[in-house]
Structure 1
Amino acid sequence: MNKDHIPIVYQDDHVIVAVKPNGLLSVPGRAPEHKDCLISRIQQTRPEALTVHRLDCETSGLVVLACNKESQRELSRQFHDREIQKRYIAVVDGVLENDEGEVNLPLIGDWPNRPKQMVDFERGKPSQTFYNVLSRSNNTTRVSLTPITGRSHQLRVHMLSLGHAILGDSLYASDNVLAKSPRMLLHASELGFKHPSTEEFCVYQYPAEF
């Protein structure tokens, strides 16, 4: 996906569903060189757009933005109450043995190694991910990931905990796994939510470009 192009999957007076390219921040960073981001680009044509949630810079895929405070509040509530439907596609190193499974490991910030996260059974927050194998080839596995919780770096750390880091992951993959892809192979392919105005449950999809 061209980093300069932001596909819009759906938009109306209440919500915008956009596709964030890999390598673009969701919101501006502190440094001047990190001002370019998804929300600032969307606001060039929709200045009323408001952030609801984020994807990691290295992750591509579907993001919903609100167009007014009421919609932002309702969508944020749905994320908080885990009413959002989310699905990701990833390619991980090695061959996952089981066709499907669950990872249930508590996560917390690894402060000496920020922004990394780590598993911590004493202080970590509950974190749950379901996975389904889509295909296996060339000592890699393509998986569908369904996060129940939305912790920072959850999918990346959970896959790593199984011994199968995501290809191209600059934070958690070993050097040889990092070298297997020029980008991190993690994409938010499906996003479903209750429309804040019509209350209809809408599901949007956008395929991974890997």
Structure 2
Amino acid sequence: MLYDTDTDNAEAVLHVDEALLVLVKPAGLLAVPGRGEDKQDCLSRRAQAQWPDALVVHRLDMSTSGLVVMARGIEAQRALSRAFEQRQVYKRYRAVVGGQLANPLPDNGWSTIDLPLAVDWMNRPRSKVCFDSGKPSLTRWRLAQPETDPQAPATHTGIGTRVELAPVTGRTHQLRVHLQALGHPILGDALYANPAQQALANRLLLHAELLELPHPVTGQMLRFHSPCPF
């Protein structure tokens, strides 16, 4: 296993004010409760234990780490939900995908994956590309820009490629399915990577690293960053 990352499942708090929380969810922790007694521990309940007015606005897959915003109170939840619906929120992820992925655009511009997605009902919880009944789904991607740390790993790692991802829509497993459709699934992905690619990491190598959104009360644009842990 070439990617052996920290498995600590303690969440971090980046920002707290009267209207919102910004948290960093670790990989392996549910964002909201699941079905069954063994799936009740989650980011939202941990937050509500300290801030009882905390309300869910969006989610990350259990296997994905990174930034999650929660509203404090129903009015803030409505404002933040509206910002997501109106695409006033910018999200950027970092991932390592299998193989050597090349950007077809000059100067490493943002390439686009435009493939409709639908739930794969015969193979839940998977999703799939479906041109008949799928919902429009759009992802922008480029090769990962160097980190400010001069010791940061190169874009091409020998077994995979580091990429940055900016989803325009928010379908279930959108980034994971779109990258699989390119022929470069995310390493460590138990649903969409092949066994060899799964074995290269002890977690899904997908991290929500950047979040820009308007404050639900003041409207001021806020920017939050969480360094990629792999």
| Bucket of the pairwise TM-score, normalised by the shorter protein | over 0.9
CA contact (8 A) 2:24 2:66 kept: yes
Q: CA deviation at 1:78?
A: 1.1
Q: How do 1:25-64 residues align onto structure 2 when only pairs under 5 Å count?
A: 25-64=30-69
Match among 121, 128, 149 for residue 111 of structure 1:
121
Amino acid at match of 1:128: L
In the alignment, which of 125, 131, 136 is matched to residue 141 of structure 2?
A: 131
Three-state SS of the structure 2 residue aligned to 1:184 is coil
Q: Which structure 2 residues correspond to residues 83-102 of structure 1 after superposition, within 5 A? A: 83-98=88-103, 99=108, 100-102=110-112
C-alpha distance in structure 2 between counterparts of 1:138 and 1:75, whole Å: 41
Hey, what's the Cα distance between the residues in 2 that align with 1:23 and 1:143?
Answer: 21
Name the SS of the counterpart of 1:13 in structure 2: coil
Distance 2:124 2:143 in 1: 30
Residue 4 of structure 1, CA deviation: 3.9
Aligned counterparts of 1:3 and 1:152: Cα–Cα separation in 2 = 25
- Which amino acid in structure 1 is aligned with residue 32 of structure 2? V
* Normalised TM-score (structure 1): 0.97
Match of 2:167 among 121, 124, 147: 147
**Structure 1 residue 201, shift from structure 2 partner:** 0.6
Query: Which residues of structure 2 form unaligned runs of 5+?
Result: 1-5, 145-154
Q: 1:2 to 1:178 in 2, by over 3 A?
A: closer
Counterpart contact for 2:9–2:28, Cα < 8 Å: no
> Number of residues paired by the alignment?
210
Partner of 2:185: 165
Relative contact order, CA 8 A, sep 6+: which one is greater? 2
TM-score normalized by structure 2?
0.89
Identity across matched positions, percent: 48
Secondary structure at 1:43 match in 2: helix
Read off the aligned partner of 2:116 and give its amino acid letter: P
Alpha-carbon distance between aligned partners in 2 of 1:11 and 1:85, rounded to the nearest angstrom: 20
The answer on whether the counterparts of 1:14 and 1:196 sit within 8 Å (CA) in structure 2 is: yes
Q: Check whether the contact 1:3–1:23 (CA below 8 A) recurs between aligned residues.
A: no
